[in-house]
Amino acid sequence: MTVNTIGVDSSVAETALSELSASFKGELVRPGDPAYDEHRKVWNGSIDRFPALIARCGGVADVIAAVRFAAGAGLRVAVRGGGHSYPGLSVCDGGIVIDLGSMKGIRVDPEARTARVQAGALWGELDRETQAFGLATTGGIVTHTGVAGLTLGGGLGWLQRKHGLTIDQLLSVDLVTAGGELVKASHTENVDLFWGLRGGGGNFGIVTEFEFRLHPVGPTVLAGPIFWPIEQAPDLLRFYRDWSAEAPDELMTLVVQRKALPLPSIPRELHGKQLVSVSCCHAGPIEEGERVVRPLRAFGSPVLDLCEPKPYVAHQAMFDPAFPHGWRYYFRACDVAGLSDAVIDVMVEHGRRIVSPISSVAFFQMGGAVARVGESETAFNGRDAAFTVNINGNSETAEGFDAEREWARTFSFALAPHHTSVYVNFLMDEGEERIRQAYGADKYERLKALKRTYDPTNFFRLNQNIPPD
Ligand SMILES: Cc1cc2nc3c(=O)[nH]c(=O)nc-3n(C[C@H](O)[C@H](O)[C@H](O)COP(=O)(O)OP(=O)(O)OC[C@H]3O[C@@H](n4cnc5c(N)ncnc54)[C@H](O)[C@@H]3O)c2cc1C
């Protein structure tokens, strides 16, 4: 190995690198290696960075070795779980990527209804293992998103209104600190750290394993989207506002405005047409779900109704075709306290201006069990939000991407008077003030104090960073 490839030039670092290389169980990938391009790529195709070394860890010992090596060599560190950070925080130019993607061990205990999950697992992989026992935990709505990054920020998903956020299911974690020590955190061990990890992202160390509580779910659920022409959006959203306010916790909905993708499930004549949809997932008895969804189906004149009994894992994969790896993604998000007429007007006006066939605006219905956990019980902020809005300005290639970004920014600016909070996992690279807003002043100060304890040199800084001072 030539040390020059990673820019490490002291003889001490040279020795450290050969020691790492000799003992590493996983794979060390450097510029020029055949697998380098494959492993430096992240989900968002607009991010193109060139790390000096990618340490594809095979286990906890590799993570500890990689952390100690990086600390000794003074390297910039990016930590990668599923690689789905919108602003590309899991890859860097120069420095080292500590890549957990090969650590995919999952062990479900069906009796105890718990799962132990290594940090490289993706949501589709975890759902597959838990659903084999008719169990699940709240998880992301796209199967190839990483369990690790999503959980550490909070974790929104179809089961959140019935069971709470992903962090509300977290029982314990194993974490490698900036000093290369393995610590555990749970409701009884390192309680302050456990508080901060539930929303504080990757600021305090590298989580190598999560333990989650599971719940009986499905395996068949009543789920899927119902579509209306975009012209019906103003009335539909007003109807939806009242109907969703009365919905039981079993029901979670997500409203999307976009041009219909050319998918086999969508009739050809609708492809490319601007539609508004309400996607449902009822995590309870099918007949009960049918009763709850009936008024929605009856509203206006839907052009397509795909809300039907289906396997929970099939529903979890529903949005996969809309977010493949490699497209260019730009994102703005905020929480709103409700769908006032003014918010609906902004949604409709800017939703109608979508040009790209792959841009969209969506909002997640919050409430239910999410809001029943106290605001100060975890580092996650904004439990009282009614909806979390996502504005996705996307293009397949560089062509047209600037215009999509501009559309998303303008849309977000128009919604700004209604912003209440923002979910930290839905931030782009937006600066410290916005991160402070994401946590609120009190929690931000508490997180800073925790950072001073666990990472006083800000070794883990490629994240939605909470600097120690
Ligand atoms: C297509 C798509 C769908 C999404 N859907 C949802 C959704 O339904 N619900 C939701 O809540 N969010 C969703 N998100 C947002 C998602 O939560 C974040 O993008 C999240 O960071 C992804 O986690 P990851 O492990 O894939 O990301 P990565 O890019 O690997 O990591 C993201 C951040 O977490 C840090 N990190 C990763 N692994 C670890 C670890 N083991 N220890 C410490 N720090 C770590 C990284 O350093 C980085 O700062 C979605 C994102 C995308 C792109």
Full pLDDT tens readout for the chain, 469 residues: 444 445 555 566 777 888 899 999 999 999 999 999 999 999 999 999 999 999 999 999 999 999 999 999 999 999 999 999 999 999 999 999 999 999 999 999 999 999 999 999 999 999 999 999 999 999 999 999 999 999 999 999 999 999 999 999 999 999 999 999 999 999 999 999 999 999 999 999 999 999 999 999 999 999 999 999 999 999 999 999 999 999 999 999 999 999 999 999 999 999 999 999 999 999 999 999 999 999 999 999 999 999 999 999 999 999 999 999 999 999 999 999 999 999 999 999 999 999 999 999 999 999 999 999 999 999 999 999 999 999 999 999 999 999 999 999 999 999 999 999 999 999 999 999 999 999 999 999 999 999 999 999 999 999 999 999 9
* C-alpha of residue 143 to centroid of ligand 1, in Å: 12
Pair of tokens at residue 94: 């120069």
Ligand 1 atom 16: the closest Cα is on which residue? 150
Q: What is the pLDDT of residue 1?
A: 40
Q: What is the pLDDT of residue 15?
A: 79
Ligand 1 atom 17: the closest Cα is on which residue? 150
Calculate the CA 44 to chain-centre distance.
Answer: 13
Q: What angle do CA 218, 220, 225 make, to 5 degrees?
A: 110
Which residues neighbour 354 within 8 Å (Cβ) at sequence distance 6 or greater?
257, 258, 259, 274, 360, 361, 407
* 360 close to 392: Cβ distance less than 8 angstroms: yes
* C-alpha of residue 145 to centroid of ligand 1, in Å: 7
Considering only CA atoms, which of 302, 307, 294, 295 is closest in space to residue 230? 302
Ligand 1 atom 47: the closest Cα is on which residue? 79
Pocket test for ligand 1, best of 150, 151, 197, 323 (most atoms within 8 A of CB): 150
Q: What is the pLDDT of residue 128?
A: 98
How far apart CA 254 and CA 156 sit, in angstroms, is: 11
Calculate the CA 28 to chain-centre distance.
Answer: 27
Task: Give burial (CB, 10 Å; 0-12/13-18/19+) of 398.
Answer: exposed
How far apart CA 40 and CA 454 sit, in angstroms, is: 28
Nearest ligand 1 atom to the CA of 206 is 42
How far apart CA 167 and CA 362 sit, in angstroms, is: 22
How far apart CA 135 and CA 141 sit, in angstroms, is: 16
Q: What is the pLDDT of residue 199?
A: 98
Q: What is the pLDDT of residue 6?
A: 54
Ligand 1 pocket (Cβ < 6 Å) reads: 43, 79-86, 89-90, 100, 119, 140-142, 145-146, 148-150, 152-157, 201-202, 206-207, 323, 425, 462-463
Calculate the CA 309 to chain-centre distance.
Answer: 26
Pair of tokens at residue 107: 């062990």
Considering only CA atoms, which of 4, 15, 1 is closest in space to residue 72? 15
Task: Give burial (CB, 10 Å; 0-12/13-18/19+) of 160.
Answer: buried
Q: What is the pLDDT of residue 377?
A: 98
How far apart CA 372 and CA 369 sit, in angstroms, is: 5
Pocket test for ligand 1, best of 49, 63, 90, 365 (most atoms within 8 A of CB): 90
